[in-house]
Structure 1
Amino acid sequence: MFPPKIFRHFFPHQTNSRSLKTLAIALNSARGVRGVTWEQRVEYYNMREEFPKPRHTIGPGLKDEEEFTDILEERRCTTDLGYALRTFNPQPYKGAPSSSTSDLKKAVLESQYLRYIAKEIALETGSSVEKVRQEARGILEEMSHNLQLGFIRLMAYTVNKVFKRLFRSIYVNMEGLNMLQQAIQESPVILMPNHRSYVDFLIVSFILFTYDIPIPVIAAGIPLASMKVVGEILRRSGAFFIRRAIGSDKLYWAVLSEYVRTIVRTGCAPLEFYVEGFRSRTLKSVVPKLGMMDMVLEPYFKGEVFDITLVPISISYDRVVEESLLALELLGVPKPKESTTGLFKASRVLQEDYGCMHVNFGRPLSVRQLCEGKINRSEYNLIPRDLPQRPSTEIQDCVNWVAHLIVRTQEEGSLISPWSLMACLLLQAPITTLTEEGLQWHGLTEKTLWLRKLVLDFRGRLNWPDSDVMSSTVALHHSIVHHKAGRVCLVQDGDPASQDPLSPEEGVMRTAAAVLMLVSYRNQALHVFVRPGILATAIHITKSTQKDELFSFFCFLRDVFANEFIFIPGRASQDFAEACSLLQKCGAVHMSEQEVTVLETGLEVLSFLQKLLQPFLDSYQLIFRYLCENGAHVFTEKQFLPAVQNLATKLILSGDLHTFEVLSSDTQKNVLSALRRLEAVTKLRASQQNEYKVNKAAVRRTGDILCKIICDIPVKIKLLFCVRLENFVLFFTLLSLK
Structure 2
Amino acid sequence: MLSWLWNDIYDGLSIDKEGLARIRNISKKMPFVIVPCHRSHIDYLLFSYVLYENNIQLPFIAAGSNMTFFPMGYIFRKSGAFFLRRSFKGNKIYSEVFTKYLAILLKEGLPLEFFIEGGRSRTGKMVMPKYGLLSMIIQAYQEKYCENFAAIPVFIGYDRVIEEKSYLKELGGAAKSPENAAEIIKTSKILTKRYGRVYVNIGEPMIMKDYLASQEKPIEQMTLEERQSLYRKIGYEIVLEINKVAVVTPFSLVAAVILSHYRRGMSHSELLDILDEFFEYLSMKKVKFAETFTNREKAINDAINIFVQEGFISKIEAEEDEAEEIQEVVYSLKEEKRINLEYYKNNILHFFIPLCFVATSIVKNNEDLISLQRIMSDYKFLKKLLWNEFIFDEHKDDAEDVNEVLTYLHERKMITFVERDGQIYLEIKGKGNKKLKPFADLIHNYLESSWIVIRSCLYLKKNPLAKKDWSKKIMALGDRMYKKGEVLRPEALFQPNYLNVIIFLEDAELITAIKDEKIDKKEVSYALTENRAEMEVLRRRLFKLL
Distance (Å, rounded) in 1 between the aligned partners of 2:533 and 2:452 = 11
1:314-351 deviation per Cα after TM superposition (whole angstroms, max 9, x unaligned)? 11211111112111111122333211232123111111
Q: Which moved more, 1:535-544 or 1:305-314?
A: 535-544
Note closer, same or farther for the CA distance 1:168–1:625 as it changes in structure 2 (3 Å cut).
same
TM-superposition CA deviations, 1:132-180 (whole Å, max 9, x none):
xxxxxxxxxxxxxxxxxxxxxxxxx2x2222211101111011111111
Where does 1:318-357 land on structure 2 (aligned, <5 Å)? 318-357=159-198
User: Counterpart amino acid of 2:103?
Assistant: R
Distance (whole Å) between structure 2 residues aligned to residue 598 and residue 570 of structure 1: 29
Q: Matched residues in 2 for 1:287 and 1:211: separation? A: 31
Q: Is the radius of gyration larger for structure 1 or structure 2?
A: 1
Tell me what 2:512 maps to: 682
Q: For the Cα contact (< 8 Å) 2:274–2:438, is it kept in 1?
A: no
Q: Tell me by how many angstroms 1:475 deviates.
A: 2.4
Question: Corresponding residue for 2:124?
Answer: 283
Which residue of structure 1 lines up, in the alignment, with residue 9 of structure 2?
166
SS of 1:228's equivalent in the other structure is: coil
Q: Is the 8 A contact 1:307 1:367 kept in 2?
A: yes
Which residue matches 2:60? 217
8 Å CA contact 2:460–2:528 kept in 1: the answer is no
Task: Specify whether residues 297 and 552 from structure 1 end up closer, same or farther in structure 2 by C-alpha distance, changes over 3 A only.
Answer: farther
Distance 1:167 1:306 in 2: 40
Which AA in structure 2 matches 1:223? N
Q: Give 1:204 deviation, angstroms.
A: 0.3
Question: What amino acid does structure 1 have at the position aligned with 2:104?
Answer: T
Aligned to 1:404: 236
Offset at residue 532 of structure 1 (A): 2.1
Q: 1:700 to 1:235 in 2, by over 3 A?
A: farther
- TM-fit CA distance, 1:309: 0.7
Q: Is it true that 1:394 corresponds to 2:235 in the alignment?
A: no
1:166-565 equivalent positions in 2, closer than 5 A: 166-225=9-68, 227-267=69-109, 269-377=110-218, 379=220, 392-431=224-263, 433=264, 438-463=265-290, 464-466=293-295, 467-477=297-307, 478-479=309-310, 480-485=312-317, 486-490=329-333, 511-512=335-336, 514-539=337-362, 547=372, 550-565=375-390
Q: Which amino acid aligns with 1:190?
A: V
1:597 aligned to 2:426? yes
Mapped contact 2:103–2:145 kept (Cα < 8 A): no
Tell me the equivalent position of 1:35: none
CA distance in 2, matches of 1:455, 1:320: 23
Deviation at 1:399, TM superposition (A): 1.7
* 2:340 alignment partner AA: M
Question: Offset of 1:568 from its aligned partner?
Answer: 4.2
Instruction: Give how far 1:703 is off.
Output: 5.6
**Cα–Cα, structure 1 residues 583 and 409, in superposed 2: closer, same or farther, change >3 Å?**
farther
1:382-417 per-residue CA deviation (whole Å, 9 max, x = no partner) reads xxxxxxxx9533322222122111111111101112
Tell me, what secondary structure is at the counterpart of 1:683? Answer: strand
Shift of 1:193: 0.8
Structure 2 letter corresponding to 1:603: N
On the 8 A contact 1:301/1:377 being kept in 2, the answer is no
Q: CA deviation at 1:575?
A: 4.1
Structure-2 residue corresponding to 1:505: none
Partners of 2:193 and 2:219 lie apart in 1 by 56
- Does the 8 Å CA contact 1:627/1:696 hold for their aligned counterparts? no
Match of 1:651 in 2: 481
Matches within 5 A, 1:83-232: 157=1, 159-225=2-68, 227-232=69-74
Q: Look up the equivalent residue of 2:131 and give its one-letter code.
A: L
Greater mean alpha carbon deviation, residues 195-204 or residues 338-347: 338-347
Residue identity matched to 2:500: N
Higher relative contact order (CA 8 A, sep 6+): 2
Deviation at 1:614, TM superposition (A): 1.6
Q: How far 1:623 moved relative to its partner?
A: 0.7
Partners of 1:446 and 1:395 in 2: how far apart? 49
The verdict on how the C-alpha distance between 1:523 and 1:702 changes in structure 2, with shifts beyond 3 A counting, is farther
Cα distance in 2, alignment partners of residues 219 and 472 from structure 1:
37
1:247-272 per-position Cα deviation (integer Å, ceiling 9, x unaligned) = 332222222222223323432x2111
Aligned pair in 2 of structure 1 residues 240, 595: CA closer, same or farther (>3 Å)? farther
Deviation string 1:680-736 (CA, Å, 9 cap, x unpaired) is 2333344535413332554663464353343469xxxxxxxxxxxxxxxxxxxxxxx
Instruction: Name the amino acid aligned to 2:450.
Output: Y
Identity %: 23
User: 8 Å contact 1:624–1:700 — kept in the other structure?
Assistant: no
Contact 1:481 1:489 survives alignment (8 Å): yes
Q: Which amino acid aligns with 1:430?
A: Y
Q: Decide whether aligned partners of structure 1 residues 539 and 162 sit closer, same or farther in structure 2, where only a CA change above 3 A counts.
A: same
Partner SS state of residue 276, structure 1: coil
Aligned length: 520
After superposition, the C-alpha distances for 1:285-316 in whole angstroms (9 at most, x for unaligned) are 11111111211222334454332211111112
Q: Residues 533 and 442 from structure 1, CA distance in 2 versus in 1: closer, same or farther, beyond 3 angstroms?
A: closer
Q: What CA distance in whole angstroms lies between the structure 1 residues aligned with 2:16 and 2:455? A: 47
Cα distance between partner residues in 2 of 1:683 and 1:393: 22
Amino acid aligned to 1:559: K
Distance, in Å, in 2 between the alignment partners of 1:622 and 1:656 is 10
Query: Could you say what secondary structure the match of 2:13 adopts?
Result: strand
CA contact (8 A) 1:627 1:699 kept: no
CA distance in 1, matches of 2:267, 2:358: 30
Quote how far apart the aligned CAs of 1:649 are: 1.3
- Cα distance in 2, alignment partners of residues 392 and 444 from structure 1: 53
Q: Which moved more, 1:549-558 or 1:306-315?
A: 549-558
**What do residues 650-676 of structure 1 show as CA deviations (whole Å, max 9, x unaligned)?**
122222221212321111111111112
**1:692 aligned residue (525, 528, 531):** 525
CA distance in 2, matches of 1:262, 1:274: 20
Report the equivalent of 2:326: none
Q: Deviations over 1:75-113 (max 9, x none)?
A: xxxxxxxxxxxxxxxxxxxxxxxxxxxxxxxxxxxxxxx
2:267·2:331 contact (CA, 8 Å) conserved in 1? yes
Q: Secondary structure at the match of 2:128?
A: coil
1:375: how far off?
A: 4.6
User: Cα distance 1:659–1:700, how it changes in 2: closer, same or farther (>3 A)?
Assistant: farther
- Closer/same/farther in 2, CA of residues 439 and 403 from structure 1, 3 Å limit: same
Query: Are the equivalent residues in 1 in contact too, given 2:363–2:437 (CA < 8 A)?
Result: no
Is the 2:454–2:539 Cα contact (8 Å) retained in structure 1?
no
Please tell me the residue identity of whatever aligns with 2:436: L
5+ residue gaps in structure 2? 318-328
SS at match of 1:202: helix
Asked if the contact 2:106–2:145 (Cα under 8 Å) also holds between the matched residues in 1, the reply is no
Closer, same or farther: CA 709–610 of 1 in aligned 2, 3 Å: farther
Question: So what's the TM-score if we normalise by structure 1?
Answer: 0.66
The amino acid across from 2:130 in the alignment is K
CA shift, 1:232, in A, is 1.9
Partners of 1:191 and 1:273 within 8 A in 2:
yes
Question: What secondary structure sits across from 2:44 in the alignment?
Answer: helix
1:336 and 1:553 map into 2 onto residues whose CA distance is: 40
The separation in 2 between residues aligned to 1:541 and 1:291, in whole angstroms, is 42
Greater mean deviation of Cα atoms: 419-428 or 629-638: 629-638
2:470 to 640, 664, 669: 640
Q: 1:567 aligns with which of 379, 388, 392?
A: 392
* Cα distance between partner residues in 2 of 1:163 and 1:553: 46
